[in-house]
Structure 1
Amino acid sequence: MNNLIKNIEFSKIVNLKELVSYQESQVISRTIAQTPNANITLFSLDKNEGISSHVTPGDAMVQILDGEAEITIGDNIFTVKEGETIVMPSNIPHGLEARKKFKMLLTVIKN
């Protein structure tokens, strides 16, 4: 049997923000699931690191697990903090920057 979820223990309670660590001047990612229609990835970004503006064919939901992110969707800029979530619609340019270091769970769903 092939598991769809990987890089995380099964049948065990885990704290997602403990599964990725901060690294100085780096963006760290850990893939949790990847199928043709869905991707789930944990990220940690050090202060002043980012992911440049891009377009995706699927809707992308960001859940901030720790810290604070500045997320741009189209012409709008949002400050999203620990415990908050924002959805970046498909085919709209979006990007993010760590004004403070932060960790997020990114879920992308495609048709």
Structure 2
Amino acid sequence: MEIIRINERPQQVTPRGVKARAVLDVPYINIMNLTLAPGDEVPSHTTPVDVLFHIIEGEGSVTVGPETAKVSAGEIVVSPAGIPHALAANAGTHFSVLVIKTPNPKNMAKSG
């Protein structure tokens, strides 16, 4: 059995300027834990795979295509492949999100 302790994973700053921890990176799935400080955002961008945003702490908003929703801990937002998406932390709260990509886009680049 493998147990992943997210808080023990090394943290880095992404090219988009938010803190991130690699949780799982295998051929069929990529999971990152993004931590946005109050007011931080991940600008709109697209990915070639489906993405799930599982909110694990705080409150913020998730935009998928033309829709934006306020979200909080315990909620999951689905973003289909090829649709622009963005994240934003509310002012006054840290926003921690598991970003789950399936299949792993890194593997798609290797096979294509």
1:77 is matched with 68
> After TM superposition, what 4+ stretches of structure 1 lie above 6 angstroms from structure 2?
none
**Compared CA separation, residues 105 and 19, structure 1 to 2 (3 A):** farther
**Gapped runs of 5+ residues in structure 1?**
1-9
**Gapped runs of 5+ residues in structure 2?**
12-16
- Count of aligned residue pairs for this structure pair: 96
1:49 equivalent among 33, 40, 45: 40
Structure 1 length-normalised TM: 0.74
Letter in 1 for 2:96: K
**Compared CA separation, residues 89 and 11, structure 1 to 2 (3 A):** closer
> How do 1:19-58 residues align onto structure 2 when only pairs under 5 Å count?
19=8, 27-58=18-49
1:80 CA displacement: 1.1
Structure 2 length-normalised TM: 0.73
1:75 CA displacement: 0.7
Residue deviations 1:43-79 (CA, integer Å, cap 9, x gap) = 1110111111001011110111110121111110011
1:95 CA displacement: 0.6
2:101 is matched with 108
